[in-house]
Amino acid sequence: MLTNIRLLTLAIAALYLMPAMAHDSHVHKAPWQACEQKQKSQQCSYHNGAGDLFKGTCQLFSKVLMCARNQPIIYADKLAKQAKQKIIDKASHKSSN
């Protein structure tokens, strides 16, 4: 009985929480967020939904700072390879010492 009440309470709480969580969510605005605390021409970077890395400088577009990429995109698979290589390098460095 107690378990059933707990389950019911959880279900009601979930019903109330779900819409609230959904409406607290973001719209995707990483290029703008990357420059929120920065000045024009400062370096910035952001990841897209696929995990690719965009690096550039903050530039004004219609008076709003946005990260304008000026370096080649570093794709997620390359980032993963770099991270893996780092771990291998670290491990081989450790074993050689």
Partner 1 sequence: MKKIITFGVPLLSLFLLSACGSDDADDDSVIEDSSSIAVDITKFSSSTVVEEVSCTLSNGESSTCYEITINGFPSDRDELGPFCPPSTSTEAADAGKWFDDGVLYDLTGEFITNLDTFYGDNFWELYDENGNVKITDTQESCEAAARPDVDEAYYNYCVECDISYYEEETGGGVSSIYTIPATPVARSNTSSVDGSVGIAFNGVTLDAAAPAADILRAYTIAAFDDCVGHVNPFAGYHYHGANHGEGTCPGVEYEEDGHAGAFGYALDGYAIYSMLDESGEEETDLDECRGHTDETRGYHYHSAGAGENMFIGCFAGETAE
- Comparing CA positions, the residue from 61, 72, 66 lying closest to residue 44 is 66
Q: How far is the CB of 75 from partner 1 (least distance, A)?
A: 11
Nearer to partner 1, 29 or 81 (CB): 29
Q: Is residue 82 a contact point for partner 1 (CB under 8 A)?
A: no
Q: Is residue 23 a contact point for partner 1 (CB under 8 A)?
A: yes
How many other C-beta atoms can be found within 10 angstroms of the C-beta atom of residue 45? 15
**Structure-derived torsion over alpha carbons of residues 5, 7, 8, 9, reported in degrees to the nearest 10:** 90
Q: Is residue 59 a contact point for partner 1 (CB under 8 A)?
A: yes
Q: Is residue 30 a contact point for partner 1 (CB under 8 A)?
A: yes
Q: Is residue 57 a contact point for partner 1 (CB under 8 A)?
A: yes
Q: Name the β-bridge partners of 65.
A: 60
Radius of gyration of the chain (CA): 22
What does the binding site for partner 1 look like in residue numbers (CB under 8 A)?
18-19, 22-23, 25-32, 40-41, 46-50, 52, 54, 56-57, 59-63, 66, 68-73
